């Protein structure tokens, strides 16, 4: 699933639990076994309330999700994106249901047909977002994909200006200019690397065609992502959804759509299945597909953990800073070209993310300090989380 889908869900974590013991346990002499249990509880509590560990967990979860997605779809003969996404969403839905049965999830409401019918158009937008995201990731390198993904922020911002009365500050405009510049530099570096690495004219033409396909899918993904997030903001207030409800309906309602699409539009012949799942990598691919489904829940958990033990400001800055290791992961785990242009694009994109996060922090502070003559406008993701928490 794309990074933006995962950012929408915040898992409400219990702030205290008997399992973690308390101060009283340290003052009670109940024998070695109880002292050992108290030490384990204290260690667990220390880990759960550790800001550095929560930030590290969030970064590892988001980086691993991107790397696994790229690994699955990067095969030279891969053409089963709908099937991959169906498996991903099915694993995520099954994991949510199992967690509910085990008592780990408390806030999941029973399935409601009327709510499913109203939410279904949003699920269709989600299908468009995650499908075009995997297609773009299939043709582009991880650094270029991460840099171009920033353009979604620009489309969402101006969508909020048009439909929700939002505003764009000068500092935000500066971050947008840096995002566009980083995308242009990344595309230029990608094209130059393709030309220089291909000796024959036919190879160069094929490489450029692959990149053009990736840029086309990336452009479609930017608008699909923005439409999904803006549409979800508009609908979620009417649905009285909590975070787990949003995640459960999104995944469960897209499974039949993705299953129908893979049966109708993808090649299910034995020869094509062998090309997509060669014997030497078949097990790794299946493990990656299962992990990608579990990764959506892991990112939601780590996002909530990070917000709870730090602050929303810290979380937004972590999200901006996290783009650098995500981009670097493409250079480490895959054969992305390391050139002056590609490194410059990563740095500019990294700076643009920091400037944008700082601009949102300043705008939030100004809204808080100004007279409440009107209700401040929130971003799509912030408004969605606020609506869910107030329900």
Paired tokens of 324: 């650098």
Q: Taking the model in full, what pTM does it have?
A: 0.79
Q: Examine the pLDDT at 245 and tell me if it is beyond 70.
A: yes
Using the structure block, give the residue that is written with the tokens 């705008």: 363
Instruction: Give the residue extent of every domain in the chain.
Output: 79-390
Query: Regarding predicted confidence, which is higher, 212 or 391?
Result: 212
Q: What is the pLDDT of residue 62?
A: 87
Q: Could you give the CA distance from residue 99 to residue 105 in angstroms, rounded to a whole number?
A: 6
Nearest CA among 139, 92, 127, 66 for reference residue 265: 127
Q: What is the overall mean pLDDT for the chain? A: 80
| Rounded average pLDDT over 375-391 | 46
CB atoms within 10 A of CB 370: 10
Q: CB-based burial of residue 78 (10 Å sphere; 0-12 exposed, 13-18 middle, 19+ buried)?
A: middle
Query: Regarding predicted confidence, which is higher, 50 or 67?
Result: 67
Q: Could you give the CA distance from residue 124 to residue 113 in angstroms, rounded to a whole number?
A: 16
Q: What is the pLDDT of residue 133?
A: 93
| Distance between start and end Cα atoms, the chain | 26
Paired tokens of 44: 């667990």
| Rounded average pLDDT over 349-359 | 88
Query: Regarding predicted confidence, which is higher, 1 or 116?
Result: 116
According to the per-residue pLDDT averaged within each range, which of 182-196, 315-329, 375-389 is highest?
Answer: 182-196
Q: Examine the pLDDT at 386 and tell me if it is beyond 90.
A: no
| Rounded average pLDDT over 102-118 | 85
Q: Examine the pLDDT at 388 and tell me if it is beyond 50.
A: no
| Rounded average pLDDT over 90-105 | 89
Q: Examine the pLDDT at 219 and tell me if it is beyond 90.
A: yes
**310 with 55: CB under 8 angstroms?**
yes
**218 with 140: CB under 8 angstroms?**
yes
**345 with 186: CB under 8 angstroms?**
yes
Query: Regarding predicted confidence, which is higher, 343 or 364?
Result: 343
What's CA 324's distance to the chain center, in Å?
A: 15
Q: What is the pLDDT of residue 370?
A: 65
CA dihedral (304, 306, 308, 310) in degrees, to 10, reads -160
Q: CB-based burial of residue 338 (10 Å sphere; 0-12 exposed, 13-18 middle, 19+ buried)?
A: middle
Q: What is the pLDDT of residue 206?
A: 82
Q: Could you give the CA distance from residue 40 to residue 250 in angstroms, rounded to a whole number?
A: 37
Nearest CA among 290, 226, 305, 360 for reference residue 59: 305
Q: CB-based burial of residue 189 (10 Å sphere; 0-12 exposed, 13-18 middle, 19+ buried)?
A: buried
| Rounded average pLDDT over 260-284 | 94
**66 with 329: CB under 8 angstroms?**
yes
Ranking 12-26, 84-98, 128-142, 269-283 by mean pLDDT, the lowest is 12-26
| Rounded average pLDDT over 96-111 | 85
């Amino acid at each position: 699933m794309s990074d933006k889908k995962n950012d929408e869900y915040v898992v409400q974590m219990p702030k205290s639990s008997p399992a973690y013991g308390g101060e009283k346990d340290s003052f009670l002499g109940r024998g070695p076994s109880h002292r050992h249990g108290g030490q384990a509880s204290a260690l667990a509590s220390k880990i759960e309330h550790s800001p550095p560990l929560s930030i590290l967990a969030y970064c590892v979860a988001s980086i691993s999700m991107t790397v696994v997605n790229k690994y699955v779809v990067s095969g030279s003969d891969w053409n089963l994106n709908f099937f991959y996404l169906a498996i991903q969403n099915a694993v995520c839905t099954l994991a949510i249901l199992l967690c509910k049965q085990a008592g780990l999830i408390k806030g999941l409401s029973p399935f409601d047909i009327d709510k499913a019918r109203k939410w279904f158009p949003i699920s269709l937008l989600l299908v468009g977002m995650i499908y075009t995201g995997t297609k773009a990731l299939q043709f582009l390198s991880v650094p270029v994909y991460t840099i171009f993904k920033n353009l979604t922020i620009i489309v969402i911002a101006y969508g909020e200006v048009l439909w929700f009365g939002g505003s764009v500050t000068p500092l935000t405009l500066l971050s947008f200019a840096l995002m566009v510049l980083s995308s242009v530099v990344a595309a230029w570096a990608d094209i130059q690397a393709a030309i220089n690495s291909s000796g024959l004219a036919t190879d160069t033409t094929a490489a450029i065609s692959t990149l053009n396909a990736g840029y086309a899918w990336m452009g479609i993904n930017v608008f699909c992502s923005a439409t999904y997030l803006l549409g979800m903001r508009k609908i979620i207030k009417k649905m009285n959804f909590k975070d787990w409800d949003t995640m459960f309906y999104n995944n469960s309602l897209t499974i039949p759509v993705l299953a129908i699409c893979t049966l109708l539009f993808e090649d299910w012949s034995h020869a094509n299945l062998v090309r997509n799942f060669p014997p030497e990598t078949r097990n790794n691919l299946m493990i990656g597909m299962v992990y990608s489904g579990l990764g959506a829940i892991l990112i939601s958990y780590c996002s909530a953990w990070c917000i709870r033990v730090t602050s929303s400001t810290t979380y937004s800055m972590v999200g901006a800073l996290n783009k650098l290791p995500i981009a670097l992961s493409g250079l480490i785990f895959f054969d992305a070209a390391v050139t002056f242009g590609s490194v410059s694009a990563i740095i500019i994109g990294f700076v643009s993310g920091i400037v944008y996060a700082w601009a949102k922090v300043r705008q939030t502070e100004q809204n808080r300090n100004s007279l409440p003559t009107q209700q401040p406008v929130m971003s799509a993701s912030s408004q969605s989380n606020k609506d869910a928490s107030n329900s």
